[in-house]
Amino acid sequence: MMTHTDPHQNQPVLTAGAPLNRARAAVVMVHGRGATATDILGLADQFDLADLAYLAPQAAGNRWYPNRFMAPLASNEPFLSSALASLDALVQRLTDATIAPERIVLLGFSQGACLALEYAARHARRYGGLIGFSGGLIGPPGTQFDYPGSLAGTPVFLGCSDVDAHIPVERVHETADCLRRLGGNVMVNIYPGLAHTINRDELTVAQRLLAVVGAPATAGSAWRRDT
């Protein structure tokens, strides 16, 4: 049921992969505008890591917030706050299931990438990883991205086109700079002429990151050396 003050409250969360009580790590997968949890959950088949749990929350009306991610923040409320709260509740659900934050990866595409990255910046801690396919931190041009806390070496992968019609490449670099200041171990791949999509190279990098997080001993630096 959608409410006016908390539109994403009580939306479903789809799951795939290992059950939480047996999963080595968990991946929160956040879909883009106009897409569904089913769409983003399909990436789990591409990663082929059976020991991971995959969880994909569904946005009310198939969008996390109504306007562009670079619109004034107030224009996207209360949807943005509700969306961030839904991710926070899902992370709490995983920690309650004894999956520590350093075993949780936040992954998203497009609007979902913007939401996942914004959540991680606002709730900085050591995560298993952050993966942003065609996304960036949320806020109008000129926003000073100055957040407290530390990502404490969290592996971060940002992939985007240099001509993406929805995500200016400058915002991707601003996001990378912010996440580095927060202590993230950031890798950025900019793909010349790519459409607004996820390419094979991005999936390969993401799979390597997830494999490290799901290994018996996680080390973000090993991911960077291996990519």
pLDDT band at 222 (very low <50, low <70, confident <90, very high): low
Output the pLDDT for position 3: 63
pLDDT band at 83 (very low <50, low <70, confident <90, very high): very high
Distance (Å) of CA 223 to CA 51, 200, 208: 18, 18, 7
Give the separation between CA 9 and CA 213, rounded to whole angstroms. 29
Distance (Å) of CA 145 to CA 1, 33, 70, 105: 33, 23, 13, 22
Phi, psi of 164 (to 5 degrees): -60, 130
pLDDT at 219 exceeding the cut of 70: no
For 13-226, CATH gives: 3.40.50.1820
Task: Give Cβ neighbours of residue 120 (< 8 Å, ≥ 6 apart).
Answer: 106, 127, 130, 151, 154, 179
Distance (Å) of CA 7 to CA 2, 3, 181: 5, 5, 32
Output the pLDDT for position 209: 98
Cβ count within 10 A of residue 30:
32
Output the pLDDT for position 106: 98
Place of tokens 């580095």: 180
Give the separation between CA 2 and CA 60, rounded to whole angstroms. 7
CA 53 to chain centroid, in Å, comes to 15
Output the pLDDT for position 149: 96
pLDDT at 187 exceeding the cut of 70: yes
- Lowest model confidence (mean pLDDT) among 133-137, 170-174, 217-221: 217-221
Mean pLDDT along residues 158-185: 98
pLDDT at 2 exceeding the cut of 60: no
Q: Where are the domains of the chain?
A: 13-226
CA 198 to chain centroid, in Å, comes to 14
